[in-house]
């Protein structure tokens, strides 16, 4: 026979379940693909005067906000998820305007690394290294240099 948990036990279970949700981004939980990221600040405030116009990045499955509406950080959409890159840190959310959590760049989809640099405000420096899995050879304003520089084809 199973006994029912007491009220204090339920409170403890709820507190333990909610604890990862209240942790600051710099102390990410390590659950799933959200890893500890040192010194990650909170994501920037997501403010648009009106609903942004998303445009497909040619040659990819990635969307970005139209150039004249671009925020002061990098914001991309792939499928139903939004990826934000700001001050060297990656964030992800299922909503474009809130709910961003810090993620390790190993969990940024490879499709985003195929976005040419002229679609970025700040291209991730680590992605310029051919040894980085996200290196695509496409950081040179869209010319596909992966054939001559040893980068991975996506």
Confirm whether 38 is domain-assigned.
no
Instruction: Identify the pLDDT of residue 123.
Output: 87
Q: Is residue 12 part of a domain?
A: no
Question: How high is the pLDDT of residue 112?
Answer: 94
Residue 71 in domain: yes
65/115 Cα distance (integer angstroms): 13
Beta strands at 89-93 and 101-103: parallel, antiparallel or unpaired: antiparallel
Contact at 8 Å (CB) between 150 and 131? no
Sequence-ordered alpha helix ranges (H) in the chain: 7-22, 110-113, 146-149
Domain membership flag for residue 17: no
13-44 pLDDT per residue, tens: 555 554 444 444 333 333 344 344 445 567 77
Comparing C-alpha atoms, which of 97, 103, 109 is closest to residue 25?
Answer: 103
Q: Where are the alpha helices (DSSP H) in 39-136?
A: 110-113
The answer as to whether 32 is a domain residue is no
More confident residue, 42 or 148: 42
Mean pLDDT taken over the chain = 72
Residue with the larger pLDDT of the pair 151 and 13:
13
CA distances from 153 to 137, 147, 149 (A): 8, 8, 11
Query: Tokens in use for 146?
Result: 């992966």
Nearest to 129 by CA among 107, 113, 112: 113
Separation of alpha carbons 122 and 90, rounded Å: 12
87-115, pLDDT tens digit by residue? Answer: 899 999 999 888 999 999 889 999 998 89
142 located within any domain: yes
128 lies in a domain?
A: yes
In this prediction the pTM is 0.62
> Domain for residue 11, yes or no?
no
Domain that holds residue 119: 52-154
pLDDT surpassing 90 at residue 79: yes
Give the chain's domain count: 1
Gap between the Cα atoms of 146 and 137, Å rounded:
4
């Amino acid at each position: 026979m199973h006994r029912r948990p007491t009220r204090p036990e339920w409170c403890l279970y709820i507190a333990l379940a909610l604890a990862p949700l209240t942790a600051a981004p710099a102390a990410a939980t390590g659950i799933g693909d959200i890893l500890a990221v040192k010194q990650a600040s909170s994501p920037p405030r997501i403010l648009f005067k009106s609903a942004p116009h998303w445009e497909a990045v040619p040659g990819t499955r990635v969307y970005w906000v139209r150039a004249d509406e671009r925020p002061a950080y990098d914001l991309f959409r792939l499928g139903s998820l939004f990826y934000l890159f700001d001050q060297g840190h990656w964030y992800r959310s299922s909503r474009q305007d809130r709910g961003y959590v810090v993620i390790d760049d190993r969990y940024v989809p490879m499709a985003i690394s195929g976005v040419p640099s002229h679609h970025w405000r700040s291209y991730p420096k680590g992605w310029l290294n051919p040894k980085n899995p996200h290196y695509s050879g496409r950081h040179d304003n869209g010319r596909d240099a992966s054939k001559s520089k040893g980068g991975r084809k996506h």
